Amino acid sequence: MNRTMILAAAATLLSAPVAFADGHTEASGDAAAGEAAFRQCISCHVVVDDEGETLAGRNARTGPNLYAVAGRTAGTIEDFRYSGSMTEAGEAGLVWTEESFAAYVQDPTAFLRETLDDGSARGSMSFRVRSEEDAVNLYAYLLSLAPAEEATE
């Protein structure tokens, strides 16, 4: 029975579109709903592209710029002061996919503790997104603001 399940899972993975391989080029959420949900993020976060144009939010500086967050290694925005745990998670290979992003924003501390297997790990983000649906929609919205090459990889 186990062999059958493994073969079925392998067949499913092999037949999946290449876009899902990276886990960040597609989003299952609703970007329009994510735009509405982003209102709760603008007190700390902004989305500013490489040319300096503000795409979303205000000139918030408490949290990192969320431009091109999809597929980015955690804790790597230059000149932003991350918590030690977030930096450690990035150094350990944490990349923001829909799954990791949604889990993190719903409970940042619990996510970092589980990811790092460290009961004392803490992040700087104290806000929690209330529902998985909102978290997935936020990811879809942020992905929609990503550079064209990121969205089509």
Digit-coded pLDDT (tens) for 108-149: 999 999 999 999 999 999 999 999 999 999 999 999 998 876
pLDDT of residue 139: 97
Using only C-alpha atoms, what is the Rg of the chain?
16
Q: Max Cα separation, the chain?
A: 56
Instruction: Spell out the domain ranges in the chain.
Output: 2-152
pLDDT of residue 74 exceeding 90, the answer is yes
pLDDT (mean) for 25-49: 90
Taking the model in full, what pTM does it have? 0.79
Q: How many CB atoms lie within 10 A of CB 20?
A: 13
- Domain 2-152 belongs to what topology? Cytochrome Bc1 Complex; Chain D, domain 2 (1.10.760)
- Residue 5 pLDDT grade (very low, low, confident, very high; cuts 50, 70, 90): very low
pLDDT of 35 over the 80 cut: yes
